[in-house]
Structure 1
């Protein structure tokens, strides 16, 4: 049963990606939907990172001593200043681990 479910889900994912990525398929997304899809990645990242940064086991973390919040703020500042994804991620990870080590 689980193999059938896995193969069915794999076929659905493949079909969805094939339809939108194959250039020979005459499917055009309307402009309003294409514009709205540009916001999907930031919304998804916010939905994933928000609870990690703000909560700890279902309880809101303290803000003055929250290393995750401070690390997120520093990461945003680093990303705005550096404008290089790999360097910003590596530097942000290093700063977060230092903050977490000294505050945790």
Structure 2
């Protein structure tokens, strides 16, 4: 029963936050809030990606055989140098799979 209440509560909160933009279309946020909202996508993406890089198996893996961490660092470098999303994704994936192959971690 508690799980259903939790699900219904999350549904209500999600619905109300999304519906508010339709209910009050002329709603304007203060400048400080608008500036802060620009950082939300970066913060959410970081919260999703970094744990997978640092703990790919559920435990800390801060060593040179962690292909996730090495490919992530290289992707950050590619993004900083090229400012090109496609180059960042392609370079990171290529380096990731080459590392996994080199470390014998690919099931081939």
Give the TM-score normalised by the residue count of structure 2: 0.71
- Structure 1 gaps of 5+ residues are none
The match for 2:25 is: 25
Higher relative contact order by CA 8 Å / sep ≥ 6: 1 or 2?
Answer: 1
SS at match of 2:25: coil
CA–CA separation in structure 2 for the residues paired with 1:52 and 1:100: 15
CA RMSD of aligned residues (A): 2.8
The match for 1:12 is: 15
1:18 Cα deviation from its structure 2 partner = 6.8
1:59 aligns with 2:62: no
CA–CA separation in structure 2 for the residues paired with 1:17 and 1:96: 41
- The aligned length equals 97
CA–CA separation in structure 2 for the residues paired with 1:37 and 1:57: 32
CA–CA separation in structure 2 for the residues paired with 1:66 and 1:57: 10
Give the TM-score normalised by the residue count of structure 1: 0.74
